[in-house]
């Protein structure tokens, strides 16, 4: 229901069932065995046995409190929920100028965050992994957590990365190309470590904890310095054949249009990315050129025509880009995550209007749209979500091994 289970390596049918049950529980705040059976369309007997294993492993727990709402006749259902205390996990976003660490528990609740500033934005893979260790230790120290309690680490990084294998084809944060990080993780890090593209991880966070909870088809569009996208289709992340799809930021919105940081022309992010808006709003100014979206907004508010025009155009183009996504993917929902500050009126309306005017009209309502702030911890939380998912698999499998012994 939530993830591609069959594709997970070395997971037998029983583990897959347990995992499905675990994810069903996670997708609700709390749920009874009967309801799980119904949700997964399987027999109560199967659910009982899977829950037994999960309880024994400490991954879930029974809730004492009576279920709220109208009291029913008959034996009351026992609600199950994720046992947050099962273990801790570190999500780390490899950003340009810092490593952002968030420590979460198994339920996804945040224990705390920590940022390790960086001098250089690109480094050798080996040095990067050592730095991750430094960041982890510092974060634990800062938050009063024993590093030994951390059961897993998940890293989010821009670039083309195969999240299943931990192989990085290219990243703006790493000097080398084509690096297999797995051996590096094994040498330098104290626990299982996972790596994936950062936009994918935000999609995963939305899928597990956010607006995408329980949805099968939705998109996450991230707008900050550049523009990224995560695609969830059929309940699982779509990565493309070579692992380099979802490059919305470099889809073309104009023939021979504005120059992009990638060197091509007419890329979406060359109009709506932070850097592009700053650049465009600075054109022709000798002094007082804006250096951030906040400054452009302030200037527009103060009546500056160019600033207004840049914001207006970006809003419209982003609306059109979202409309194109609706036309192509027809998703259930789109999450638009953009960095602060939020845009003032009338810009959001310009975007929504462009979205509406450019989607194919059918009877069915448009997909839902959630606009949310993409703060730094969101990225790291996405990494954590990925880690939770991967660790769930490990733990369930581990438990299976214990059973067998």
Partner DNA sequence: AAATATTATTTTGCTCAGTGAAATAAATAT
Partner DNA sequence: ATATTTATTTCACTGAGCAAAATAATATTT
Site residues for its own copies per CB under 8 A: 160, 169-170, 177-178, 216-217, 229, 233-234, 238-248, 250-255, 262, 264, 266, 316-317, 320, 323-324, 327-332, 357-358, 360-364, 367
Of 165 and 327, which has the nearer Cβ to its own copies? Answer: 327
Closest distance between its own copies and the C-beta of residue 307, in Å? 19
Of 344 and 403, which has the nearer Cβ to DNA? Answer: 403
What CA–CA distance (Å, rounded) separates 211 from 369?
9
Could you report how far apart the first and last alpha carbons of the chain are, in Å? 30
90 pairs with which residues across the strands? Answer: 103, 153
Of 148 and 233, which has the nearer Cβ to its own copies? Answer: 233
Decide: 107 and 61 in contact? Cβ < 8 Å.
no
Of 104 and 314, which has the nearer Cβ to its own copies? Answer: 314
Nearest to residue 49, comparing CAs of 28, 21, 29? 21
- Please choose which of its own copies, DNA, none residue 167 contacts, taking the beta carbon within 5 to 8 angstroms, the exact cut-off set by kind: none
Number of residues that bind DNA (CB under 7 A): 28
What CA–CA distance (Å, rounded) separates 119 from 97?
7
Of 155 and 323, which has the nearer Cβ to its own copies? Answer: 323
Of 238 and 275, which has the nearer Cβ to its own copies? Answer: 238
Of 52 and 341, which has the nearer Cβ to DNA? Answer: 52
Instruction: Give ∠ CA 108-132-212 in degrees, rounded to 5.
Output: 30
Site for DNA in 77-116 (CB under 7 A): 77-78
Sheet holding 60-62, edge to edge: 31-32, 79-82, 60-62
Site for DNA in 26-55 (CB under 7 A): 32-35, 41-46, 48-52
- Please choose which of its own copies, DNA, none residue 13 contacts, taking the beta carbon within 5 to 8 angstroms, the exact cut-off set by kind: DNA
Of 17, 113, 171, 315, the one binding DNA by CB under 7 A: 17
Closest distance between DNA and the C-beta of residue 164, in Å? 22
Site membership for DNA, residue 124 (CB under 7 A): no
Decide: 101 and 115 in contact? Cβ < 8 Å.
yes
**What are the φ/ψ torsions at residue 334 (nearest 5 degrees)?**
-125, 135
- Please choose which of its own copies, DNA, none residue 210 contacts, taking the beta carbon within 5 to 8 angstroms, the exact cut-off set by kind: none
Q: Where are the beta strands (DSSP E) in 242-359?
A: 333-338
Token pair listed for 242: 């070579």
- Please choose which of DNA, its own copies, none residue 51 contacts, taking the beta carbon within 5 to 8 angstroms, the exact cut-off set by kind: DNA
- Please choose which of its own copies, DNA, none residue 262 contacts, taking the beta carbon within 5 to 8 angstroms, the exact cut-off set by kind: its own copies
Closest distance between DNA and the C-beta of residue 402, in Å? 14
Give exposure, 268-300, as e/b (b: 16+ Cβ within 10 Å): bbbbbbbebbbbbbbeeeeeeebeebebbbebb
Closest distance between its own copies and the C-beta of residue 126, in Å? 21
Give exposure, 93-132, as e/b (b: 16+ Cβ within 10 Å): bbbeebbbbbbbbbebeebebbbbebeeeebebeebbbbb
What CA–CA distance (Å, rounded) separates 297 from 319?
18
- Please choose which of its own copies, DNA, none residue 329 contacts, taking the beta carbon within 5 to 8 angstroms, the exact cut-off set by kind: its own copies
Which H or E element spans position 112?
strand 110-117
- Please choose which of its own copies, DNA, none residue 248 contacts, taking the beta carbon within 5 to 8 angstroms, the exact cut-off set by kind: its own copies
Site membership for DNA, residue 16 (CB under 7 A): yes
Is it true that the peptide bond before 341 is cis, omega within 30 degrees of 0?
yes
Residues that bind DNA (CB under 7 A): 12-14, 16-17, 32-35, 41-46, 48-52, 71-78
């Amino acid at each position: 229901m939530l993830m591609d289970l069959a594709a997970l390596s070395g997971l037998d049918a029983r583990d897959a069932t347990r995992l499905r049950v675990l994810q069903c529980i996670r997708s609700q705040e709390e749920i009874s065995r009967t309801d799980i059976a119904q949700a997964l369309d399987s027999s109560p007997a199967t659910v009982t046995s899977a829950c037994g294993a999960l309880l024994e492993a400490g991954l879930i727990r029974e809730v004492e409190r009576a279920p709220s709402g109208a009291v029913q006749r008959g034996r009351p259902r026992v609600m199950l929920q994720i046992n947050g205390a099962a273990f801790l996990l570190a999500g780390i976003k490899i950003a340009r100028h810092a490593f952002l660490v968030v420590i979460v528990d198994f339920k996804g609740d945040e224990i705390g965050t920590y940022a390790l500033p960086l001098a250089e934005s690109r480094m050798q893979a080996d040095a990067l992994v050592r730095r991750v260790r430094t960041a982890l230790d510092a974060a634990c120290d800062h938050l009063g957590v024993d590093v030994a309690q951390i059961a897993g680490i998940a890293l989010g990084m821009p670039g083309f990365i195969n999240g299943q294998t931990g192989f990085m084809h290219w990243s703006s944060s790493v000097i080398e190309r084509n690096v297999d990080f797995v051996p590096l993780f094994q040498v330098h890090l104290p626990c299982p470590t996972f790596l994936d593209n950062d936009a994918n991880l935000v999609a995963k966070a939305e899928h597990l904890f956010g607006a995408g909870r329980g949805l099968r088809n939705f998109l996450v569009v991230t707008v900050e310095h550049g523009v990224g996208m995560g695609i969830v289709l059929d309940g699982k992340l779509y990565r493309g054949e070579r692992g380099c799809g979802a490059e919305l930021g470099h889809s073309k919105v104009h023939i021979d249009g504005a120059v992009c940081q990638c060197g091509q022309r007419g890329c979406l992010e060359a109009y709506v990315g932070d850097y592009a808006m700053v650049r465009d709003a600075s054109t022709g100014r000798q002094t007082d050129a804006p250096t951030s979206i906040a400054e452009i907004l302030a200037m527009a508010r103060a009546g500056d025509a160019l600033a207004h025009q840049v914001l207006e155009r970006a809003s419209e183009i982003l609306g059109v880009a979202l409309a194109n996504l609706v036309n192509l993917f027809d998703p259930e929902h789109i999450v638009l995550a953009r960095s602060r500050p939020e845009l003032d009126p009338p810009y959001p309306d310009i975007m929504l209007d462009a979205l509406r005017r450019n989607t194919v009209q059918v009877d069915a309502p448009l997909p839902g749209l959630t606009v949310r702030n993409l703060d730094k911890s969101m990225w790291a939380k996405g990494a954590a979500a990925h880690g939770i998912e991967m660790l769930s698999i490990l733990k369930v499998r581990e438990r299976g091994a214990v059973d067998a012994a």
